[in-house]
Amino acid sequence: MYAAPFSYHRAASLEEAVTLLRELGEEARVIAGGQSLIPLMKMRMARPGALVDIHLISGLNGIERSNGELRFGALARHAEIEDSRVASTIPILHDCAAGIADIQVRNQGTIGGSLAEADPSGDWGTALMALETSVICFGPGGERTVPLEAFIKDAYTTVLAHDELISGVHVKLPPKGSGGAHLAFKRTAPVYPTASASVELTLEDHHLCRDARIVLGCVGLTAIRAKEAEVALRGKTLDEKSIRTAVDAARAAADPQSDMRGSADYKRVLVGTLVKRAIGIAARRARGESVPAGHEYAGR
């Protein structure tokens, strides 16, 4: 199906994009990589009267390390992050970027578009919540910085005002002794995962867990921080008992819906398994091992 008619406007700067959004009114939508918005428009589930294209705004696709943070421009593509040496210093970011859909989607889709879409099945919201992440928002009043957990309010809903854009995503570098993993289980590459889990650990003496963040994806209206599961590991020796307690708490924190990807019961079991595996990989990485990880496919 073709999209409903719309007018097209190309912004050359963030300021121009904000002005266009204001002038064109509530019917206007930003378009970046188009990998979520265009399919929705073709299915007529989205009918914006105007599109403000930001993908040629210069300076928005960088990936750099600065002031103890990794800084991504909103237009950094999944494929650019997958290939970035700078981004690979935090392995969870590579796990996430490399597993999203197929190479065509990864070449176009952006980190800013993913967070703005706030799809409950999206990978970036889950992976970035396992780290200390801030979203840089640009609007008529200039820039404001919003912690990721406050940025995503609900499924497909963020704190962005109509005339506000994401200009960047900043991720604090984890302390020494840290390691993380983002695992997602899906049926084929071009579908969203059935469930996902991101774990970031900081270890002392290779076994004592100083800090833990555990985030569940696709099993709620937003990514879920499994805080009881984090408590089960924080300050404890990582052993079979503490990991089992954390996995049980993660399963209890999940709030899945039955749908075409599986029943709620199945997703709850699956997310627990992903958390267990992610803890194991995160711990090995925190100890300095290089461990490949990422999306896993049914039948492999």
Ligand X SMILES: Cc1cc2nc3c(=O)[nH]c(=O)nc-3n(C[C@H](O)[C@H](O)[C@H](O)COP(=O)(O)OP(=O)(O)OC[C@H]3O[C@@H](n4cnc5c(N)ncnc54)[C@H](O)[C@@H]3O)c2cc1C
Binding site for ligand X (CB under 6 A): 29-37, 39, 54, 74, 100-101, 105, 108-110, 112-114, 116-117, 119, 122-124, 160, 165-166, 190, 192-193
**In the bound complex, what is the minimum distance in angstroms from residue 119's beta carbon to ligand X?**
6
Tokens of 4: 């409903």
Of 191 and 208, which CB lies nearer to ligand X in the complex structure? 191
As measured in angstroms, the least distance from the Cβ of 224 to ligand X is 16
Relative orientation angle of helices 240-253 and 264-286, to the nearest 10 degrees: 140
CB of 142 to ligand X, least distance (A): 15
Q: Nearest approach, Cβ of 189 to ligand X (angstroms)?
A: 8
Instruction: Find the shortest distance in angstroms from Cβ 238 to ligand X.
Output: 29
Would strands 157-158 and 152-154 be described as parallel, antiparallel, or unpaired?
Answer: antiparallel
Contact 207, 105 (CB under 8 A): no
**143 touches 137 (CB < 8 A):** yes
Give the residue closest to ligand X by C-beta.
109
Where do we find the tokens 């970027």?
97
Q: Output 105 or 173, the one with its CB closest to ligand X.
A: 105
- Of 223 and 238, nearer to ligand X (C-beta) is 223
Q: How far is the CB of 223 from ligand X (least distance, A)?
A: 11
Q: Give which of 157, 163, 137 is closest to 25, Cα–Cα.
A: 163
Alpha helices in the chain (DSSP H): 14-24, 37-42, 78-83, 91-99, 103-108, 111-117, 123-129, 148-151, 227-233, 240-253, 264-286
Of the pair 82, 200, the CB lying nearest ligand X is at: 82
CA dihedral 95, 203, 148, 18 (to 10 degrees): -70
Give the residue with the Cβ less far from ligand X, 101 or 281.
101
Nearer to ligand X, 184 or 238 (CB): 184
- How many separate helices (H) and strands (E) can be counted in the chain? 11, 15
Q: How far is the CB of 174 from ligand X (least distance, A)?
A: 22
Angle at 201 between CA 197 and CA 202, to 5 degrees: 170
Closer to ligand X by CB, 75 or 283: give it.
75
Pairwise CA distance, residues 220 & 288, whole Å: 33
> Nearest Cα to 130, choosing from 229, 262, 207, 36?
229
